Amino acid sequence: MAATGSEKQGTKAFYVTTPIYYVNDAPHLGHAYTTVAGDVLTRWHRQRGEKVWYLTGTDEHGQKIMRTAEANDVTPQAWCDKLVEEAWKPLWEHLNIANDDFIRTTQKRHTDRVQEFVQDLYDKDEIYKGGYEGPYCVGCEEFKLPGDLVEAEDGTKLCPVHKRPVEILKEENYFFKLSAYGPKLLEFYEANPGFIQPESARNEVVNFVKQGLDDLSISRSTFDWGIPVPWDEKHVIYVWIDALLNYATAVGYNENPAKFEETFPADVHLIGKDILRFHAVIWPAMLMAQGLPVPGRVAANGWLMVGGEKMSKSNLTGIKPQDLTSHFGVDAYRWYFLRAIAFGQDGSFSWEDFTARYTSELANDYGNLASRVAAMVGKYFGGELPASAADGDAEKAVHEGLAKAVAVADAKIGEELDFQAGILAIFDFVKQVNGYITEQEPWKVAKDESEEGRARLATILYTAAESLRAVAVLLNPIMPETSQALWDSLGAEASLGALASQPVQDAATWGQLPAGATVTKGAVLFPRLEEPKKD
């Protein structure tokens, strides 16, 4: 049995991938949701001090891309180049996505290696020639089973994802012997119950494989926008075989053995649930056939819904991320979707919900806490962080609350991919610190100018500032811009060094922010929202 990613030890990087996205149009919120999740996950692991590799990119072959290019009266390559450079890459930069590589399936480093991989399978007698006739969804670029389809009122068979009629294909193709891998896949799923997440997705895949697998058509012969089959150039390689191999070609498959050994396989493939079978059935079977290790985990996120429909361009519910970042800011955008929606489940978006959470949790709870603490250190101690005196029960409760928040956040975000629970643990601690300040009433303690009164005031404000130091560290993978602003406000850069170098797992170690640090009141972290413009 092939080894999983988690079984490889030593210097292997923590390797995370997003799907490579079709460039038939500009990216929308659904694409950004998965990519931000991957960015938060990899930033978290980097801040653990781990070696990390984060891959994203674009899927540029196939009939859907060809037809879109034709509709726009340009070549497929020109269409892809324009979309990648003018829409996809700029958005990831705008959203502070810290990917290590961006793979395009039209790049020679990819196309050559795909041909080599498929040729190897052909030489091993894993591929044979045959004929195919059946339903195909160009939107999904997927051969559909009759049981997958839904029926319109007039009896037309529709793709369940795109709600559009499927096309009936009849053509000569090459087939991969996928049916032979059903028992091996089931054995693998049984031995690795965490391979597919969430559990509902795992159950779906297991039940699907138990019904028996058909061999997979891995070529198309009725159009030419794709990678040629190396032994028969009348065919192009099926776009999904091409696409899945990006996870190997991008990290040196058949080209850079050292890079490949220290990176592959992926520890986490982040995907949308509509492409689950490709990643949890076809991809591991391809790797098994080639004698390569199988990924550590395939994590399927749910759909973002608007008006009860999956967010996509095809059903007119696509929303540009810039529509939201221009109003709420980039950091709030990165925070909101992971905070509001349990990863792995469908979730609905609304302006009203975003506005309410922004105002309550970011502006009132978190931003106001940072402003109040900086203002009080400035007012009562001239902007110089005082040394804490003896900690009492109230302070010890804060220490314990922080330790709990760090432990929960590290487990939930770093290991379980439960971003919502991890963020909630951090913000529960923010609420605790707010409650601590309310109960201790430093503005009243400040009226006591005795030595004891000053010492007590110093302890309260040090406790609050040190708590914020830890919050900045914990929220840095999620909200890097505002975390850096808070870090600077606390004078932490000068005394503790770069924020990104602070280990998240050590954030609860108390007393890291030194007395004497210069605390300044900077710009408001989360400004009051203006009314959105109405069309």
Catalytic, 140? Answer yes
Helix, strand, coil percentages for the chain (3-state, nearest 5): 50, 15, 35
Contact (CB, 8 A) for 84 and 39? no
* Whole-angstrom distance, CA of residue 159 vs CA of residue 493: 54
Q: Omega before 193 cis (within 30°)?
A: no
Q: Omega before 198 cis (within 30°)?
A: yes
Report the greatest alpha carbon distance in the chain.
91
From the candidates 8, 61, 64, 137, which is the catalytic residue?
137
Beta-carbon contacts of 155 under 8 Å, excluding residues fewer than 6 positions away, are none
From the candidates 12, 45, 140, 235, which is the catalytic residue?
140
- Geometric angle at alpha carbon 182, from 181 and 183, rounded to 5°: 95
From the candidates 8, 159, 327, 412, which is the catalytic residue?
159
* Whole-angstrom distance, CA of residue 321 vs CA of residue 80: 20
Residue 182: which H helix or E strand, with range? helix 182-191
In this structure, are strands 101-104 and 157-158 parallel, antiparallel, or unpaired? unpaired
Catalytic, 310? Answer yes
From the candidates 8, 12, 31, 235, which is the catalytic residue?
31
From the candidates 45, 269, 273, 310, which is the catalytic residue?
310
From the candidates 8, 28, 269, 273, which is the catalytic residue?
28
* Whole-angstrom distance, CA of residue 456 vs CA of residue 448: 9
Catalytic, 80? Answer no
From the candidates 162, 163, 320, 521, which is the catalytic residue?
162
From the candidates 82, 94, 163, 313, which is the catalytic residue?
313
Catalytic, 327? Answer no
End-to-end CA distance of the chain: 58
Catalytic, 396? Answer no
Q: Is 42 helix (H, G, I), strand (E, B) or coil?
A: helix
Q: Tokens 């031995």, residue?
A: 191
Catalytic, 82? Answer no
Contact (CB, 8 A) for 201 and 269? no
- Annotated active-site positions, please? 28, 31, 137, 140, 159, 162, 310, 313
